[in-house]
Structure 1
Amino acid sequence: MTTAQVDHLATKRKLTASPLRLAMVVTVSVMLGSAMMSPAVWAQDMSGAGQAGAANRDTDPQSGETTFSDTAGPDESGFSENDEFGATAGATAEETAGQTPSSSDAPLTDPATAVVTATAPAGVDVSKGTSPVVVELFTSQGCAACPPADKLLEGLAERDDVIALALHVDYWDYLGWRDPFGQPAFTSRQKGYARAVKERMIYTPQMIVNGQQRLLGADRVAIKSALDTATASTAPVDIAISQEGDQYRISLSANPPLGHDAMVQVVRYLPHASVDILRGENAGLSMDYTNIVTQWHIVADWDGQTPMTFDTQVEGSNPAVVIVQTSQPGRSVPLPGAIVGAARIK
């Protein structure tokens, strides 16, 4: 399943807001004050020019985290048929004027191909039971609660035993600032995680550790505990990566074999970028972002039992990683499960 297919699925769906819930939330908003409503969490169709954008928000008075609940009829995964957003992709010249990437901006490749961009490594990189822990941060430049989590991810990215990745979602663009790194595909990925455990809401900032632990993005204590547990475990999948020109040979094996099918994914990311945010909830802030994911491709499917070797083309200057993740059937696309192996393409 490619990013293009996931995005095609996403465009077929739109979330409708409940007028009754909207009235309830407006009342809560007046009682609790706008400061408690600022952390961004969920989204919906923006065709109403933002008028429906605040519908169905709920704020935890203790944590300050805001969540959005889907009130339409649930499908088998716990989501409604109309659970997607209408936010547009990209950013205007004014919005990206403050963006100063520190690495090469090589053109993005067609998601339908196995061609990705990454730093060209030399020799062979082998991961034998010492796989780094993969931390995914779902974040947005339009989310007032996200900067502390973005800073925390910056520290995690310095660890050799952690692959820290920032996935910028697009569902808070309607608040007045269109995140230039936001992609509908990352919103869909976060929804896939929620569907996999039959949750009916997503939020930002959220960290997911090795595809399993779901945590508030700035909860240092919980994140440390999850990382300690993950790093103490042995990765079930061995990954070997070798280079031959522009081709990279990826070999996978599991002993004992996995009990589930798995997706082999190649992820490209931008190591660093500085952005001056001009509007929205974070207006006036100058933010540094780390390990910003630009591409996330499924390049192979694996049964998790028979050792497999395949080739994929890698080109460009930005780094990339290989992530092996179990999957489970979804209504139209596979849903992400536990990450069972990862390795850097250096």
Structure 2
Amino acid sequence: MRAIKILSLTAGLIGAVLVATAFTKHTGTLKNKNTDKPAGNGFAVIELFTSEGCSSCPSADELVARIQKENSDKPVYILAFHVDYWNRLGWKDVFSSADYSKRQNEYASWLNLQSVYTPQIVVNGRKEFVGSEEGTLRNAITAGLRTASTGKLTLNAQNNQGHVTVQYNTEGADKNSTLLLALVQKNGATKVQRGENGGRTLAHVQIVRKVQTQDLAATGKGSATLALPEGFNPQGYEVIGFVQNSSNGSILAAAKAGFEAGASK
């Protein structure tokens, strides 16, 4: 995170030492590899609050893009919420919504923050920090993956005419739990004309296009519908959902579903 009998005996001892040393080094390497593997069945839900009108945000957007690429085979779920309160300062972010600003303010209440800001990242509903802090984000992901999950969520998404139907199944949710479902556009780009990023073309990943929170069915099983945005392409979207404690914001379980196979991870 370092005489012929005598000659034969000496050679034998040297050989034994070399073999033992080689064996010690080999087993040590194996031990280190095992130590690097995350323990438990945890996950990391990364919520980025960003805006195309904020000059500090592109570095955070680029960071989560790298994280997304590096962790495509792990239970790491990224959602980029484009807030709308920057829109009055020269550039209207086409991906922005007052709903996303409202969600960020919910976190300010849950986490006892005096104000909101961009770029901000919240991991698993409990840890927040400046969205461009790479080391902090990587540590939070590792901690989330190593923490055993207390709940379970599976999703199945189907593209119907004009909307998405999501079937869900939950286990281990408490009475204060709600289900958040987000329709996420995997990639997007904008040529910004004005504001702090005027003249730049900004690339984005995991853009939240629709979001809704609803009460869980008593059985833990149910369905929900999400409206489709203009230009919807099933191959370019996925649904991310998670079970969240409505009292403190802690996320208990998470999953995602694509539209090709319809299976959740």
Q: Say whether residues 1:142 and 2:60 are aligned partners.
A: no
1:192–1:177: structure 2 CA closer, same or farther, 3 Å change rule? same
- Flag as ranges the 4+ runs of structure 1 deviating above 2 A: 129-132, 240-249, 299-302, 311-316
Query: What is the SS of the residue equivalent to 1:222?
Result: helix
Aligned to 2:108: 194
Where do residues 68-147 of structure 1 align in structure 2 (5 Å cutoff)?
130=41, 132-147=43-58
Asked if the contact 1:133–1:227 (Cα under 8 Å) also holds between the matched residues in 2, the reply is yes
1:148–1:194: structure 2 CA closer, same or farther, 3 Å change rule? same
C-alpha distance in structure 2 between counterparts of 1:309 and 1:182, whole Å: 31
Instruction: Pick the aligned partner of 1:152 from 32, 41, 63.
Output: 63
Instruction: Pick the aligned partner of 2:220 from 308, 312, 322.
Output: 308
Aligned to 1:265: 180
Aligned to 2:142: 228
Query: What is the SS of the residue equivalent to 2:250?
Result: strand
Query: What is the SS of the residue equivalent to 1:279?
Result: coil
C-alpha distance in structure 1 between counterparts of 2:251 and 2:101, whole Å: 19
Which amino acid counterpart does residue 100 of structure 2 have in structure 1?
F
1:131–1:228: structure 2 CA closer, same or farther, 3 Å change rule? closer
Aligned to 2:78: 164
TM-score, normalisation: structure 2: 0.71
TM-score, normalisation: structure 1: 0.55
Query: What is the SS of the residue equivalent to 1:252?
Result: strand
1:242–1:274: structure 2 CA closer, same or farther, 3 Å change rule? closer
Asked if the contact 1:181–1:292 (Cα under 8 Å) also holds between the matched residues in 2, the reply is yes
Asked if the contact 2:41–2:146 (Cα under 8 Å) also holds between the matched residues in 1, the reply is no
1:308–1:194: structure 2 CA closer, same or farther, 3 Å change rule? same
Instruction: Pick the aligned partner of 2:251 from 334, 339, 342.
Output: 339
Instruction: Pick the aligned partner of 2:197 from 282, 305, 310.
Output: 282
C-alpha distance in structure 2 between counterparts of 1:209 and 1:222, whole Å: 10
Question: How far apart are residue 284 of structure 1 and its match?
Answer: 1.1
Q: Say whether residues 1:323 and 2:247 are aligned partners.
A: no
Asked if the contact 2:169–2:220 (Cα under 8 Å) also holds between the matched residues in 1, the reply is yes
Question: How far apart are residue 242 of structure 1 and its match?
Answer: 4.8
Query: What is the SS of the residue equivalent to 1:152?
Result: helix
Gaps of 5+ in 1: 1-128, 329-335
Question: How far apart are residue 271 of structure 1 and its match?
Answer: 0.9
C-alpha distance in structure 2 between counterparts of 1:171 and 1:191, whole Å: 12
Q: Per-residue CA shift, 1:196-245, capped at 9, x if unaligned? A: 23322111000000111101100011111111111101111112335789
C-alpha distance in structure 2 between counterparts of 1:311 and 1:171, whole Å: 32
Asked if the contact 1:262–1:325 (Cα under 8 Å) also holds between the matched residues in 2, the reply is yes
1:146–1:251: structure 2 CA closer, same or farther, 3 Å change rule? same
C-alpha distance in structure 1 between counterparts of 2:117 and 2:202, whole Å: 20
Which amino acid counterpart does residue 122 of structure 2 have in structure 1?
I
Aligned to 2:169: 251
1:197–1:241: structure 2 CA closer, same or farther, 3 Å change rule? closer
Aligned to 2:213: 298
Query: What is the SS of the residue equivalent to 2:106?
Result: helix
1:169–1:248: structure 2 CA closer, same or farther, 3 Å change rule? closer
Kindly, what percent of the aligned residue pairs are identical? Answer: 26
Query: What is the SS of the residue equivalent to 2:66?
Result: helix
C-alpha distance in structure 1 between counterparts of 2:211 and 2:223, whole Å: 17
1:225–1:243: structure 2 CA closer, same or farther, 3 Å change rule? closer
Which amino acid counterpart does residue 251 of structure 1 have in structure 2?
N
Instruction: State the structure with more CA Rg.
Output: 2
1:261–1:241: structure 2 CA closer, same or farther, 3 Å change rule? same
Asked if the contact 1:169–1:182 (Cα under 8 Å) also holds between the matched residues in 2, the reply is yes
C-alpha distance in structure 1 between counterparts of 2:159 and 2:88, whole Å: 44
Q: State the number of aligned residues.
A: 205
CA RMSD of aligned residues (A): 2.2
Q: Per-residue CA shift, 1:244-273, capped at 9, x if unaligned? A: 89654321111xx64x51111111011111
Question: How far apart are residue 307 of structure 1 and its match?
Answer: 5.0
